[in-house]
Homo-oligomer: A and B are copies of this chain.
Amino acid sequence: MHREPPSRVELLQGTLDLLILRTLLAGPTHGHAIAKHIQRTSEDLLQVETGSLYPALHRLEAKEWIAASWKLSDRGKRARYYRLTPRGRKQLASEQSKWRAFSRAVGLILNPVDQEGP
């Protein structure tokens, strides 16, 4: 069935890593909670599918930007808790500034400071 009352937006490729790293800056959590956090914090605009989430987490772990260990979640289920590594913090800073540069650049195209209009 189809339902997206808050009309969701698709993730642009490359932004998921940034969102995950930023989420983990607040402290270690498990994958499921990361997805919920992103959805809630973005006011339901963004939704991370599990088919994107888990491969992304494994990718980040392989690059040693995050590290993981099994624990029990609040609700008593086995869950894999991820935390930022020092390299992950650096990566986050880098991706954050890349994002800012990129969105500023797009802004320049969309609203050129040039003359325009009457």
A binding-site residues for B, Cβ under 8 Å:
7, 9-10, 12-15, 18-19, 22-23, 38, 41-43, 45-46, 96, 98-99, 101-106, 108-110, 112, 114
Contacts and interface: CB of A to CB of B under 8 A. Distances in A.
Contacts of A22: 109-110
Contacts of A18: 106, 110
Is the contact region of chain A dominated by helix, strand, or loop, or is it mixed?
A: helix
Contact of A13 (B13, B23, B42): B13
B13 A14 contact: yes
Contacts of A7: 101
A112 B38 CA distance: 11
A45 B98 CA distance: 10
Contact of A19 (B96, B99, B101, B109): B109
A111 to B, nearest CB: 9
Contacts of A98: 9
B109 A38 contact: yes
